[in-house]
Amino acid sequence: MFFDSALFGWFFLLVFAVYWALKRTEAPRLWWLLVCSYFFYGVWNWKMLGLIAFSTTMDWLVARRIEANSEKRVRRGWLLLSLVTNLGILAYFKYANFFLASLQSLAEATGSTVVLPVLQIVLPAGISFFTFQSLSYTIDVYRGSLATEPSFLRFATFISFFPQLVAGPIVRASDLLPQLRLPAKWDARTHGLGLALIAMGLFKKVAIANPLALNLVDRVFDAPELYSSVETLAAVYGYAIQIYCDFSGYTDVAIGAALLLGFTLTPNFNRPYQSANLQEFWHRWHISLSSWLRDYLYIPLGGNRGGGWATYRNLFITMLLGGLWHGASWNFVIWGALHGAALGVTRLFQRSSLGAAVAKRTWTRPLAVFLTFHFVCFAWIFFRAPAFEDATEILENIAAGTTFIPNLTPLLLSTIGGALAWHLSPIRWRERCVDLFCRIPAPAQALLLVAVAIALWRIKGTDSVPFIYFQF
């Protein structure tokens, strides 16, 4: 059930109406959210509902055992059970065939005739997101930074909350569980903000991300030999815009839908292509994942406590595993390694005398933003290309220097240019637009949203482009 489908619109209207009708009683309200969340996920593949139910039940029980025991060895054993089980499930569904294929390639390279099987595995939608969300709960309880949730109903609703279930943001228990305990409270301005976010998110997806994917990016990455260097480079820029508008558009709809139900989710994007270095980029891009990797991987590895080279090692390992989190492909590993190495170089430069001198010059920021954006685009090539050979073909095609552009229509160029211009514009412009929308009367908001919905429906057409991060 895609956010940009009519089915989701009718589904959410039903959820919204019944939820606020039940606002005075907590249990029926939470049961309604839980049933709707399981229905939402079951539409993708009802057979995978047992996976969420198992993970939810196990981690709720494990956390209670951790809190009930004072002996460190016993607490660590229960935490290890949660880690091994959750990561084991994730490894099986997401990485089993990847590891088998890698072993097969290694065997062939050494002259072995062993033939390893290919498992028929269906990847559950959003498994990386709800696994990390559930794991963060047991880890926080183990650390003593979070008390266990006594209500299984409340905890199950937290894990399966449908707006962010399949593509984030990755919500911490400390953020959402307290909100689930509070009585539902109607707030007109909050609901206006929610509607504005949903409209903006759908616009990003339907009017920008989908046309770029269908008319440029997919075509060039599928057959780069048919396109010139300029067209290939435009497709790389197009993908940078597509993945941002696709993923941040999903996040906008998720946060907006949650606001309409009275819940505030953590922000996940903050104009990432305005970043002047990669460290800043990861503070602005997929914020819930980067903060998760920082708190549950980078810091436990030692963070920056072990001196210079240990810090660079920890950065590199974190980003390498962050790349692997995105998918079972060596291209994702390369993408993570590029970011890990570049973060190390960034840190080294910032601590040098040259870096200190450059930081004092305000005029250098536009150049730094330009260079950072182009490094991110370079890394996106490996993220998007089906295989390493395809990524190298894209790079070779760009380097060839051919300039014919019959496939770059004025509409495509204006979409890329307009999206970049809006992205780089001051944030106060967007805030002012949202504020104006929230101030107008509710009937006017409804009419404006209907007009936006009709326009997007006409733009969308019949071609469907799944959200990129559903595969992760």
pLDDT at 39: 94
What is the arithmetic mean of pLDDT over 386-392?
Answer: 91
pLDDT at 461: 67
Query: What are the tens digits of pLDDT across the range 105-163?
Result: 877 777 777 777 777 777 788 888 889 999 999 999 999 999 999 999 999 999 999 99
Sign of CA dihedral 63, 64, 70, 74: negative
Cβ-based neighbours of 205, under 8 Å, separated by 6 or more: 3, 4, 245, 246, 249, 250, 253, 467
Query: What are the tens digits of pLDDT across the range 281-313?
Result: 999 999 999 999 999 999 998 888 877 788 899
Query: What are the tens digits of pLDDT across the range 266-288?
Result: 899 999 999 999 999 999 999 99
Residue with tokens 């009683």: 25
Tell me the C-alpha distance between 19 and 263, whole Å.
12
pLDDT value at 217 more than 90: yes
At 120, the amino acid letter reads Q
For the record, the structure tokens of 165 come out as 């279930």
420, 170 in Cβ contact below 8 A?
A: no
Instruction: Return the beta strands (E) in 69-199 as ranges.
Output: none
Tell me the C-alpha distance between 49 and 46, whole Å.
5
Query: What are the tens digits of pLDDT across the range 52-65?
Result: 999 999 999 999 99
195, 444 in Cβ contact below 8 A?
A: no
Query: What are the tens digits of pLDDT across the range 189-215?
Result: 888 889 889 989 999 998 999 999 999
- Look up 326 and say whether it is catalytic: yes
pLDDT at 471: 66
Query: What are the tens digits of pLDDT across the range 357-373?
Result: 777 777 788 899 999 99
Q: pTM value?
A: 0.91
32, 22 in Cβ contact below 8 A?
A: yes
pLDDT at 463: 65
From 191, 286, 326, 339, the catalytic residue: 326
pLDDT band at 462 (very low <50, low <70, confident <90, very high): low
Query: How much is the mean pLDDT over the chain?
Result: 88
* Residue among 325, 330, 338 nearest 98 (CA): 330
pLDDT at 58: 94
Running DSSP on this structure, what letter comes out for residue 360?
T
* Residue among 434, 449, 435 nearest 9 (CA): 449
For the record, the structure tokens of 120 come out as 């028929």
